[in-house]
A and B are shown apart, each in its own frame.
Chain A
Amino acid sequence: MSAISATEKVDGFTRKSMRKAQKQKKSQGSSQFRTQALTELSPLPQLKDAPSTEQQELFSQKLQQCCMLFDFMDSVTDLKSKEIKRATLNELVDYVSTNRGVLVETAYPEISNMICTNIFRTLPPSDNPDFDPEEDEPTLEASWPHIQLVYEFLLRFLENPDFQPSIAKRYIDQKFVLQLLELFDSEDPRERDFLKTVLHRIYGKFLGLRAFIRKQINNIFLRFIYETDHFNGVAELLEILGSIINGFALPLKAEHKQFLMKVLVPMHTAKGLALFHAQLAYCVVQFLEKDPILTEPVIRGLLKFWPKTCSQKEVMYLGEIEEILDVIEPTQFKKIQEPLFKQISRCVANPHFQVAERALYFWNNEYILSLIEENIDKVLPIMFGSLYRISKEHWNPTIVALVYNVLKTLMEMNSTLFDELTASYKSDRQRCVPCPSLILTCIQNLTGVQLWQNWI
């Protein structure tokens, strides 16, 4: 309250930039439900100084010591113990990455216990319920100085040449994976980045968990699409899936096809698409490269979910369509060309110049051009009306210039058809009273009055 400056009093509103500035440095404690009382840690001797017979025992003691959790929201308490734990974790990371023969069977449960205690927690309530990942700074995990080292340790543990999945699978089981997946909702991008690598390693090393992991990701996505519309780690999970899909054997299992059609395609409707669209499009294209038969249903799905009011999303959809067209087989193209080009023709005529521009860029793509040329008799009649009209009406000179080029290209492909279409378009125009629909639409938009149609 006291921080409110005189300038702010003038209009009574807090400026967004100011509110932001206040927020930026926030960090959040883990929502650990503490029951145990804290006891102070006392430093143990260094592992490297211990005789090899006692190393194993000391390793285990250090793992136990690291199970103690601290409150990082309170930056003044337990400073000494926090420092001891940090140093110990560093030492443990070093120990598992440089030494051979340290992963004996008895160490596994203790390692697993230390990791679970530290990283598995219910994520705290979001500080900012209207968190906009594109605009707002994420809230960072307060206990990162420790958690980071635990993740580091987990990775080194998984990557250790002595690591044995057959022993580890008793600890890294379905429950472990499930809790790991829940953490992907963390607002802290640093944590999600570690999780991505960890999950990737686990997927690679534990064959028995693969189907389970895919299924749980599936569930997270379905919940994201149809229930909550909120999950911070979608992009990271999609990135992992991208490489998983890459490794699918052919022919694709029904399960995988279902995932594509019922999860990945509807995912395009999500509000925060911009945050993970690149990864999503990559997954879709991976699928289509594996099995071209899927092209038609996927494109039809995208057309069904085509954004109606969000131009930014439309641009993304167009980008994805181009990526798909880049790998499409000519036979598949024929199946989908009609509905697809009807949509493209609407996009070309879009008053938002970025949408129109993105659609017109298709004509810079050699492969797409060759597909259009091959099917010019189908494509040109669909596109002609929009292109011709836009060449005269679009407000943006860049678009008009692009359209002229496109019309020129199309004319060169089949000039007879082009002339026919021009002639019939003109006679159509002359037959009906010229309807200056553009001006009318503008007026309607300005006044919100539909009455005009009746007046004129």
Chain B
Amino acid sequence: SVEKEAPGGGADGDDSLYPIAVLIDELRNEDVQLRLNSIKKLSTIALALGVERTRTELLPFLTDTIYDEDEVLLALAEQLGNFTMLVGGPEYVHCLLPPLESLATVEETVVRDKAVESLRKISQEHSPVDLEVHFEPLVKRLASGDWFTSRTSACGLFSVCYPRVSSTVKAEIRQHFRTLCSDDTPMVRRAAASKLGEFAKVLELDYVKSDIISLFTALASDEQDSVRLLAVEACVSIATLLPQEDLETLVMPTLRQAAEDKSWRVRYMVADKFSELQKAVGPEITKNDLVPAFQNLLKDCEAEVRAAAANKVKEFCENLPEDSRETIIMTHILPCVKELVSDTNQHVKSALASVIMGLSTILGKDNTVEHLLPLFLAQLKDECPEVRLNIISNLDCVNEVIGIRQLSQSLLPAIVELAEDAKWRVRLAIIEYMPLLAGQLGVEFFDEKLNTLCMAWLIDHVYAIREAATCNLMKLVEKFGAEWAQNTIVPKVLGMANDPNYLHRMTTLFCINSLSEACGQEITTKQMLPVVLKMSNDQVANVRFNVAKSLQKIGPVLDSSALQTEVKPVLEKLATDTDMDVKYFAQENSCLLDLGYPEETTQDHIANSFHNIFIDVQEQLVMYRELTEPVCI
């Protein structure tokens, strides 16, 4: 057996098997990490053992080691899913079932789920005969297991074997699934409910109508809301499968009941799946049933539900049948939306703000100006920054329909307020929309109103904001062109090089790094380079080594004469700096710019640093030894 052979090398004295013997030995090691490593190399072991010994020795051994750390079991469950070729191909794939069966019964959910995933995978590699002889009996055993874990696992296996077995076996499978749907532990019912849709898809339509519908109805009125809400998910698949004329009698009563469930979790699920449900039931039912249901969800007493529904407003309206879309929106949906704009809960308002702008394309110019614009403006003045941000981030939708001028009067105060928000994440978010806004509003408006903001961010006290501001400038230059940059922002950026605060001086360098390419050679050589070079005399070392870094960044934009006559001397000077880091970056960048300056390579530098620390350690060791000479007790 495998066990006897380890670790002295192959029983036949074959030295090449020695590493394998070590791996096998490690499968039984006391250290979890070693067992885990070995399990992860299981395919190597199997390959070396050959298909026959893998089947007869390795797999039984693995089946026996099932009582182990969950981490090891998880790795094992995953490995076995890819083992078909290693046991000799599809003909022998059923050998993998015993270890996976035990893994599918353990308590830890991740392990069990992985085992089921692997079983589903290898089920496809079984021949129809093997499926009935080996796989299906396993599913049955799991489905009738004593402990809930095996029954839970079984739920995920029905749909993969159902399509490929004989009709008698099919009948048995349906029966097992029925039993599990009314299992007395909620864990199993949850598992069954979550697989109901998937199972329905592989069933013949008649059985969907007879079996699945009754299970669906039962699960949708389960005593536990955690089960009921899963039935809502299944509802989408089931409704897709049924012909239109059956939907009303078979699905709708349950769906209506779910939309008014006493548990907010179920109603939340309905709201969350609303677009899918809408597509699945078709336009007629949507008009008659889903519109009022949606109105109710938008007015739900629980904010969670309203937020989920608010998120779906645009999608729902988009998918309404064209002939009645506008009427439905104007008479049924818009009144609810108006109320949500002044909802008490900020998540609801912010969910709405993220989609409301999308309505303008659906409703057209006149309706937008008359009905939506007041809502946008109200949300732009909302007390919660997230709401305002969401509106601003979707400006492009409105721009297409009515042009942004209509909004700009209200837009500006909103942007300014966000730009000065006390929370830096809010400021960061608005910076990220600047390029988009600049594109929408045009260069004049931008210069007049927003330019000052963009420059102010460069001296923000939070680094992330300064960094984003730098990146923002680059995007603006890409949009408005080099000439604009030369006139408006470059002078201001370069002016900061004389700032008393070294952080601001560094910001100049960071801006140059990101602007040089967009500005082009001329501006870079004539305006930026002199400033950078001058900063190499800065008294703060951080500035100096950032000069070295900047020179590398802008190097590719410069021509070779500037590199040789201006950059090289400065780098040479920095390479003799008193500060170790400045020296290091100057040398490194000389190499990278290919200026022929490899006095000490980067690797040497690293090795040297290591060397220094190494000496430190040795000194410590000596001290340590002196301190810890054995003392007798």
Listed stretches A29-37, A48-56, A77-85; interface member: A29-37
C-alpha gap A191/B109 in the complex (Å) = 32
- Tell me if B621 counts as interface (CB < 8 A to partner A): yes
Which residues of B lie under 8 Å from residue A14 when comparing CB positions? 423
Residues of B within 8 A of A438 (CB): 624
Task: Find out whether the CB atom of B186 lies under 8 angstroms from the CB atom of A8.
Answer: no
Contact, CB under 8 Å: B109 / A393: no
Contact A122 B264 (CB under 8 A): yes
Q: Which residues of A contact B264 (CB under 8 A)?
A: 31, 33, 122, 124-125
Are B630 and A33 in touch, CB under 8 angstroms?
no
> Which A residues touch B262, using CB under 8 A?
33, 122
Tell me the minimal C-beta distance from A339 to chain B in angstroms. 10
Tell me if A253 is interfacial: C-beta within 8 Å of chain B: no
> Counting CB contacts under 8 A, is A104 at the interface?
no
User: Is there an interface contact between B620 and A439, defined as CB atoms closer than 8 Å?
Assistant: yes
Which residue of the partner chain, among B69, B301, B303, B384, contacts A32 with CB atoms under 8 Å? B301
Known A219-B185, A436-B624; contact A266-B422, beta-carbon cutoff 8 A: no
Give the contacts of A102-147 with B (CB-CB under 8 A): 122, 124-125
How far is B632's CA from A391's CA once the two chains are assembled, in angstroms? 11
* A304→B187 CA distance, assembly (Å): 25
Which A residues touch B624, using CB under 8 A?
A: 436, 438-439
Classify the secondary structure of B's interface with A: loop
User: How far is B302's CA from A9's CA once the two chains are assembled, in angstroms?
Assistant: 34
Q: Are B628 and A12 in contact (CB under 8 A)?
A: no
A34 proximity list for chain B (CB < 8 A) = 301
Q: Closest residue to B427 on the A side, CB-wise?
A: A12
CA distance A143 to B265 in the complex (A): 21
B82 to chain A, nearest CB (A): 26
From the candidates B108, B185, B225, name the one contacting A122 in the complex (CB within 8 A). B225
Residues of B contacting A393 in the complex (Cβ-Cβ under 8 angstroms):
628
In A164-206, the 8 Å CB interface with B consists of 175, 178
> Which of B226, B261, B385, B617 is the one whose CB lies under 8 Å from A456?
B617
Residue A4 CB within 8 A of the other chain: yes
Contact residues in B for A248 (Cβ distance below 8 Å)? none
| Bound-state Cα–Cα, A10 to B304, Å | 34
Which one of A88-96, A222-230, A316-324 is at the B interface?
A222-230
Most chain-A CB neighbours within 10 Å: which of B301, B304, B614?
B301
Q: Once bound together, how far apart are the Cα atoms of A8 and B423, in whole Å? A: 9
Give the distance in Å from the alpha carbon of A9 to the alpha carbon of B461 in the complex. Answer: 10
| Residue contact B385 to A226, C-beta cutoff 8 Å | no
Interface centre among A10, A223, A266 (most CB of B within 10 A): A223
A32 to chain B, nearest CB (A): 7
Q: Which residues of B contact A266 (CB under 8 A)?
A: 107
How many A-B residue pairs lie within 8 Å, measured between CB atoms? 88
Judge if A426 is at the interface, Cβ distance under 8 Å: yes
Question: Does A122 contact B109, Cβ atoms closer than 8 Å?
Answer: no
A300 to chain B, nearest CB (A): 10
Chain A stretch 407-434: residues in CB contact (< 8 A) with chain B:
407, 422, 426, 429, 434
Contacts of A9 in B (CB 8 A): 422
Contact assessment for B108 and A226 in the assembled complex, using a CB-CB cutoff below 8 Å: yes
B207 proximal to A (CB < 8 A)? no
Verify B424–A12 contact, CB threshold 8 A.
yes
B7 to chain A, nearest CB (A): 22
- Any B CB within 8 A of the CB of A250: no
**Is B462 in the interface zone, CB < 8 Å from A?**
yes
Closest to A228 in B: B226
Choice from A124, A226, A391, A452 contacting B633 with Cβ under 8 Å: A391
Please determine whether B304 and A125 come into contact, CB atoms closer than 8 angstroms: yes
Q: Mark B264-292, 1 if CB is under 8 A from A, else 0.
A: 11000000000000000000000000000
Residues of B within 8 A of A439 (CB): 617, 620-621, 624
Is A392 in the interface zone, CB < 8 Å from B?
Answer: yes
Total B residues in contact with A, Cβ cutoff 8 Å: 42
Inter-chain contacts of A219 with B (CB < 8 A): 185-187
Which residues of B from 454 to 468 have beta carbons under 8 Å from A?
Answer: 461-462
CA distance A225 to B106 in the complex (A): 13
Beta-carbon contact of A227 and B109 below 8 Å? yes
Please report which residues of chain B, range 211-243, place their CB below 8 angstroms from some CB of chain A when the two chains form the complex: 223, 225-226
Q: Is B630 within 8 A of A443, CB to CB?
A: no
Q: Does A310 contact B (CB under 8 A)?
A: no
Say yes or no: is B248 at the interface (Cβ < 8 Å to chain A).
no
Quick one: closest B residue to A225, CB to CB?
B107
Q: Across the interface, do B223 and A392 meet the contact criterion of CB distance under 8 Å?
A: no
Please tell me if A1 contacts chain B, counting CB pairs below 8 Å.
yes
- Residues from chain A with a CB closer than 8 A to the CB of B107 are 225-226, 262, 266
Evaluate contact between B621 and A436: CB separation under 8 angstroms: yes
Which one of A31, A262, A434, A456 lies within 8 Å of B625 (CB-CB)? A434
B574-633 contacts to A (CB < 8 Å): 610, 614, 617, 620-621, 624-625, 628, 630-631, 633
**A348 to B324 Cα, complex, angstroms:** 76
Q: Does B445 contact A (CB under 8 A)?
A: no
Do A222 and B187 touch across chains, with their CB atoms under 8 A apart?
A: yes
Contacting residues, chain A, for B185 (C-beta < 8 A)? 219, 222
| Residue pair B263, A122 in contact (C-beta under 8 Å) | yes
> Is B14 at the interface (CB under 8 A from chain A)?
no
Q: How many angstroms between the C-alpha atoms of A215 and B186 in the bound complex?
A: 11
| Distance of A453 Cα from B188 Cα, bound (Å) | 50
Asked whether B223 lies within 8 Å of A175 as measured between CB atoms, the reply is yes
Cβ-defined contact, B302 with A455, below 8 A: no
Task: Select which of B302, B422, B614 is within 8 A of A4 by beta carbon.
Answer: B422
Q: Is the pair B223, A178 in contact by a Cβ cutoff of 8 Å?
A: yes
Cα distance A422–B384 in the bound complex, in angstroms: 70
CB distance from A102 to the nearest CB of B (A): 32
Q: Which has the most chain B C-beta neighbours within 10 Å: A4, A31, A215?
A: A31
**Chain A residues, CB < 8 A from B322:** none
B262 to chain A minimum Cβ distance, whole angstroms, is 5
Separation of A11 and B225 alpha carbons in the complex (Å): 44
**Is A1 a contact partner of B383 (Cβ separation < 8 A)?**
yes
Expressed in whole angstroms, the Cα–Cα distance for A424 and B423 within the complex equals 64
- Is B148 among interface residues, defined by CB-CB distance under 8 A? yes
Q: Are A222 and B633 in touch, CB under 8 angstroms?
A: no
Taking a contact as CB atoms under 8 Å apart, the answer to whether A124 and B109 are in contact is: no
CB distance from A239 to the nearest CB of B (A): 23
Of all chain B residues, the one with the shortest Cβ separation from A2 is B383
Smallest Cβ-Cβ distance to A125: which chain B residue: B304
Inter-chain CA distance A14–B426, complex, in Å, is 13
On chain A, the residues within 8 Å of B147 by CB distance are 262
With a CB–CB cut-off of 8 A, which chain B residues contact A456?
A: 617
Q: Are A392 and B628 in contact (CB under 8 A)?
A: yes
Residues of A within 8 A of B422 (CB): 1, 4, 8-9, 12
- Point out the residue from A31, A304, A426 that lies within 8 Å of B69, measured CB to CB: A304
Q: Bound state CA distance, A407 and B265, in angstroms?
A: 59
Considering only residues 105-156 of chain B, those with a C-beta below 8 Å from chain A are 107-109, 147-148
Residues of A within 8 A of B263 (CB): 31, 122
Q: Closest approach, in angstroms, between the C-beta of B52 and any C-beta of chain A?
A: 34
C-alpha spacing A304/B73, complex, angstroms: 14
Contacts of A215 in B (CB 8 A): 184
Q: List 11 A-B contacts (CB under 8 A).
A: A14-B423, A31-B264, A33-B261, A33-B264, A33-B301, A124-B264, A178-B223, A225-B107, A392-B631, A393-B628, A429-B630
Residues of A within 8 A of B (CB): 1, 4, 8-14, 31-34, 122, 124-125, 175, 178, 215, 219, 222-223, 225-227, 262, 266, 304, 391-393, 404, 407, 422, 426, 429, 434, 436, 438-439, 443, 451-452, 455-456
In the A-B complex, the 8 residue pairs with the closest CB atoms: A12-B424, A122-B263, A125-B304, A436-B624, A4-B422, A226-B109, A33-B262, A9-B422
Taking A11-B461, A12-B422 as known contacts, 11 extra A-B pairs with beta carbons closer than 8 A to each other, sorted by chain A number, are A8-B422, A14-B423, A124-B302, A223-B186, A226-B108, A392-B628, A422-B633, A439-B620, A439-B624, A452-B617, A456-B617
